[in-house]
A and B are shown apart, each in its own frame.
Chain A
Amino acid sequence: MRVVHVDAEVLAHKRSGGHHLVTLVAPGVAELHRPGTFAELTLGGPHSDRLTRHAFWILRANPSGTYGGTVELLVSERGPGTRWLVRAGPGTTVPLTGPLGRPVARPKEPVPGPGVALEVGGAATLPLAARLKERGCVVHVLLGARTEARLHGALDLRRAARTVQVVTGDGSVGRRGELAEVLGGVLDQQAPDVVYAAGPVPLLRTAAAEAEARGAWSQLAYAGPMPCGTGHCQGCLVPVVGEDGIARHARACVDGPVFRGDRVRWDEVGR
């Protein structure tokens, strides 16, 4: 088994600034989870007529919770699905499939050179940074958000990362500006071997280009719509160049969601 489908149950909710931490009892999923994998949820309850499903990073996984294996998601309210999820009371059933996608490729041996991880939000980087540290890697984190309330995990990240730099659009905490503007300077300073990034497509495109310009690898998490999450609907296609040099589409849900930056044809993404 690499993935399971369960009727997960909401165990607890917690507000975290502008986000919600939602804990679900999802037996089997926590055990299989690796950084970079995600869970696909059916939102809206049994009487909803919505047919597309929703992807969320697994922020924390606890295989041995008192109530059975649990997963924790960091949810920001966006539309009808997430509005329902952040209000679903304890005991609410949420069909959940996971973990899905390929885990982030990470060094098998401790590497001498550092890695830089950057993200808007914070849900993808936290588990990744912790795992990289376990492997003996030095990690520098750049975390961005519109405002302080939208920022998550900066404190936890300080335990895993050598440095954590925060950038907010309104300057409410850390430096004022955009991640993309700060990135080049950080890469020049830290000279990382690998750049990891999660966030909107323009940020990923910049991360790919800045990494490539400095001869670093990049591992970029694509988080566009994923209507099924299980490889059937073709609703998540990303234009890539294959190992064979041939241009084609990859399904982000099964071939990603994390891609090597130099393999994606960024100019054609989401057009």
Chain B
Amino acid sequence: MSALALRGPLVAASGCLRVTRTLEDLVDLSTLGAWVTPTVGLAAATGPSGRRLWETGAGLVHPTCLEGPGISGLLAGDVPWMVARKVPVIVSVTAATLGDYAELVRHAGAAPGVVGVELRVAPPGARDLGLVPVSEGFHVGRIVAAVRDGLPPGCSLVVKLPALPDRVVDLARAALDAGADALTLVDAAPAYVIDPATGRPPFGDVAASRLSLSGPALLPLALRCVHEVRVALPDAPVLAGGGVRSGADVAAFLAAGASAVQLGTVLLHDPVAPQRIHAELAPTERTAPSVPTERESP
């Protein structure tokens, strides 16, 4: 295994940067170390009509949605678009069975320009969405073991973990023991909101378990998770994220032990965030990070 081949320390988080015909007008793609795709499953899927976002103090609440083109649509469309522009691609996947996970990872790893696969193993509401349930470390280990052998050399396996400081070390250890190369810390946090106008959550029939929090409100919780993992597993390669708005936030995650940092909600709010935050970094923070993978670290 080689180290995760990032071009720089700033990575676009899953589901927060999508290909559009104006993307290149706004984003200087050369400031992205990699692009994590929106999460896909095996088949194309559609989501509920109606509200998808609810604004809360310094945060956004949204239901986990698996709407998307499926793995084939993604690999035929947006992935080659990014690869043609020299952006390293990490394909994010989630699945209902171990067999589906294995098939997804095989497909994704075989695609040109894909430097990694990120397993979204425990998004809020996984159970209600019919995904492989994950609550204990061994659940994560099983998923990683099922996909590990399907990845070609040069393509890293990243596991994205939930924003649960009490659980994250167990889950991280299990992922690395089963052969994951790096961790993404953290996914959007479980949340709940009430629309004062109705006294109910504002998302219609969507199961409350799927609601999650992103944005600056999440930052200290994400830092806590990174810190816990760093203390327990000092060599674990970490892509950190949650609430980053500025170069100073990136520096905080790097100081807490991350190798690279993911930008999520900030990309919705500030369409030129990648180049702005890149410019805010100190020169030493701007260089391509070496994200050594677990197996080559001493």
Contact = CB atoms under 8 A, between A and B. Distances in A.
Interface in B24-50: 25-26, 46-47, 49-50
Interface residues of A, number: 34
B251 interface: no
A97 B26 contact: yes
Contact of A3 (B22, B59, B60, B270): B22
Q: Per DSSP, are chain A's interface residues mostly helix, strand or loop, or mixed?
A: loop
Given A52-B55, A227-B53, A249-B67, A3 B25 contact: yes
A234 B53 CA distance: 8
Given A52-B55, A232-B16, A249-B46, A95 B270 contact: yes
B46 to A, nearest CB: 6
Contacts of A213: none
Contact of A51 (B17, B47, B51, B269): B269
B200 interface: no
**Which of B60, B215, B270 is packed against the most chain A CB atoms within 10 Å?**
B270
Contact of B21 (A2, A232, A268): A2
A51 B49 contact: no
B154 interface: no
B58 interface: yes
Interface string B236-276: 00000000000000000000000000000101111110000
A271 B55 contact: no
Interface string A229-271: 1111111010100000001110000100000000000001111
Contacts, number: 95
Given A51-B268, A52-B60, A4 B25 contact: yes
Interface residues of B, number: 33
B123 interface: no
B197 to A, nearest CB: 13
Contact of B53 (A231, A235, A268): A235
Contacts of A268: 49
Interface in A99-121: 100
Interface of A: 1-5, 42, 49-53, 95, 97, 100, 225, 227-235, 237, 239, 247-249, 254, 268-271
Given A51-B215, A239-B49, A271-B50, 16 more contacts: A3-B25, A4-B25, A5-B272, A50-B55, A51-B59, A51-B269, A52-B60, A97-B26, A97-B271, A230-B23, A231-B18, A232-B17, A232-B268, A234-B47, A234-B67, A254-B20
30 contacts: A3-B22, A3-B25, A5-B272, A49-B57, A51-B216, A51-B268, A52-B269, A53-B269, A95-B270, A100-B22, A225-B51, A227-B60, A228-B268, A228-B269, A230-B20, A230-B23, A231-B20, A231-B22, A231-B23, A232-B20, A232-B268, A233-B53, A234-B47, A234-B65, A254-B20, A254-B21, A254-B22, A268-B49, A269-B49, A270-B50
- A-B pairs with the 5 shortest C-beta distances? A231-B20, A228-B268, A49-B58, A235-B53, A3-B22
